Structure 1
């Protein structure tokens, strides 16, 4: 089966996987097995040491960044991971909550003009909020350093860049660089790359100036700022990080953090708008556990919201941010069904299908947060749930994303009730680098100001 683009890919793969327990497909010129049965997935996880390399197609991310923890291995990967993991450490995440709260309050205020109005696409407002959070937490800068229009354009260009990468993956004739450079896709991709890198360059310059000024005055920063690590650390070979190195890592972190968080939040909110009974139950939990309508939330507050966790996990089950995971077999790998994968095979795990296995998830297409009651989770093997990947190459930003999502949802749901005229059948799902809903986040909102919170 040869693939074309976005929504068609999702439709074709979902249709054909209903007919067979395993399939092979052409992704560009490469014939690749698509694996989604739990036994073979479990076997692959056991062979993780032979799948440390990402699938060949991920190299197209280099049209945006020359180096990236998302696709690199070896020295470059270790250097980036060392600094990036510190950015999402538990201690730093606690500090970030101030930013999560303040920027979400701004979002609540921005949405007040839409109360009682018609249905609108929430995606732009969420994008502005999340980019503002990332500028604050990653760069240590107030988002007001950029205008709202600049931030929204940045978010749009991030989305465009990922679309361009996906488009190239789906077009075999654009795999050779010498052909790709003559295409309109190359021109569009370069335009986005230049805008995004210039945007990040301005942020880096502003933070470095602030960092140097604080050092000269002997002022200690109130909290740890991720980007400052690059100004005082050296690479493993003893050299300093270049501006291109720093830009690559900043763009990788902001890009990944933005995309997965907006996607996840969008799906959770639309699912709550569709399932009013679940939204009511989440609201009840928030009002019972959190005292005070407008106070800032801390990690203790968020850790008390167990049903909200179930809702988020169930949304990730049905609509995982990473719907397919591509790896390159660096050695022969035996499969559970008696087959094997040869060294050099590009293999893909179809997470969306794995997450809808009726053996582990009864009535698997139904939105049911009770799938993540503690006793039910214990009954399932861990490898049948991997919304952010698995093993050492698992997306390291999942804890960051979860805290952002919970903070934003708490503030939004304490102030507004969400409604929609859409159903899941209206979703226009597209399998790209991440899972996209091309229909956006169409909702209307009602104020909860008359609801007392005790």
Structure 2
């Protein structure tokens, strides 16, 4: 991502920062879900384009009532293109799943074979290397390995379709959302240079040399960066609306809501309600999330990842990926914009986007002198 920005940046040139965060989050989610070399495979570009078509069509149907009925949608060019994309994308990931299943089977077979031949030429036991190989599968590091090795509560493995569905859920939920939210965060930092410089100061304290890397400990100590991202999620939540169905009759003030009723929750409006966020609720202020400012706030006044039993299971992963992306960019560049805070407009697709591009100017930052 950083090298790509350097390649495209020039004095006075406008960049749409989303065009750089999006490939980065896709690479992250594909590598953590499917493995390190997944994006080096033949057909990767068509796979990426197919995912974009599928997600775009979901958003198209959400906001076009004429396309809601399946019987109508199936006669459209959008449906034909989506089915073509689905067929290719599923074939792409199915091949990876089969290859992973073969790898696991071979590793188990190798482990059994080696237990019958576990002494080296000097007669000493030689378990260590083989044991490490097996442990790497007993304690998998990527999502697909976990799906292939961890049984369900009834002891049965996940089916091929279940594995495929889980992978697509991870990619769809983890790519566009994190990329867009990171771009929103960078846009707000470009509009608020004093906040940007304070974030850079924290980065330099936690990463004092060019060789310093982001570890879990560093990530945990990025407290100001986390407040910045949370404030970005408050003002511009990518999941700005979502639906919930009542599982029992509900009394809401003077209204009785029957079981099975569907609600559409407006998170964008909730995050700007002045009774929870104060008279300056429309302003960007990361210090709203200082512990002393948050402790008395209603726990469901802030729902960027939903809440309750249906809360997003990827919230920690999303925060880590956004911290990593924003930190990498601020470490290398100073960012500005000609967009005006008071004139920001949003539009809804599957998630909430700017009505136009994330117009950003970048210049090299000499952080380490």
TM range (shorter): 0.7 to 0.9
Residues 435 and 151 of structure 1, relative CA distance in 2, 3 Å threshold = farther
- The alpha carbon displacement at 1:237 in A equals 5.8
- Please give the alpha-carbon distance, in whole angstroms, between the structure 2 residues aligned to 1:427 and 1:143: 37
Tell me the equivalent position of 2:27. 132
Q: Deviations over 1:240-274 (max 9, x none)?
A: 43332221111111111112211111101111112
Q: Which runs of 5+ in 2 are unaligned?
A: 112-132
Tell me the equivalent position of 2:318. 401
List aligned pairs for 1:397-436, cutoff 5 A: 397-424=314-341, 427-436=344-353
What secondary structure is seen at the aligned counterpart in 1 of 2:264? strand
- Please give the alpha-carbon distance, in whole angstroms, between the structure 1 residues aligned to 2:209 and 2:101: 38
Tell me the equivalent position of 1:315. 232
* Matched-pair contact (CA < 8 Å) for 1:208–1:231: yes
Tell me the equivalent position of 2:57. 164
Tell me the equivalent position of 1:103. none
- The alpha carbon displacement at 1:371 in A equals 1.2
- Please give the alpha-carbon distance, in whole angstroms, between the structure 1 residues aligned to 2:46 and 2:354: 19
Bigger shift: residues 434-443 or 270-279: 434-443
Residues 230 and 382 of structure 1, relative CA distance in 2, 3 Å threshold = closer
> Is 2:82 the partner of 1:189?
yes
Tell me the equivalent position of 1:87. none
Q: Quick one: which of 250, 257, 262 aligns to 2:179?
A: 262
What secondary structure is seen at the aligned counterpart in 2 of 1:379? coil
Q: Quick one: which of 309, 325, 346 aligns to 2:262?
A: 346
Q: Quick one: which of 14, 33, 36 aligns to 1:119?
A: 14
Aligned length: 343
> Is 2:336 the partner of 1:443?
no
Residues 210 and 295 of structure 1, relative CA distance in 2, 3 Å threshold = farther
- Please give the alpha-carbon distance, in whole angstroms, between the structure 2 residues aligned to 1:144 and 1:126: 16
Residues 296 and 151 of structure 1, relative CA distance in 2, 3 Å threshold = farther
Q: Which runs of 5+ in 1 are unaligned?
A: 1-106
- The alpha carbon displacement at 1:156 in A equals 4.2
List aligned pairs for 1:148-227, cutoff 5 A: 151=44, 153-218=46-111, 219-220=133-134, 221=136, 223-227=140-144
Bigger shift: residues 282-291 or 346-355: 282-291
List aligned pairs for 1:47-126, cutoff 5 A: 107-117=1-11, 118-126=13-21
Residues 302 and 206 of structure 1, relative CA distance in 2, 3 Å threshold = same
* Matched-pair contact (CA < 8 Å) for 2:35–2:142: yes
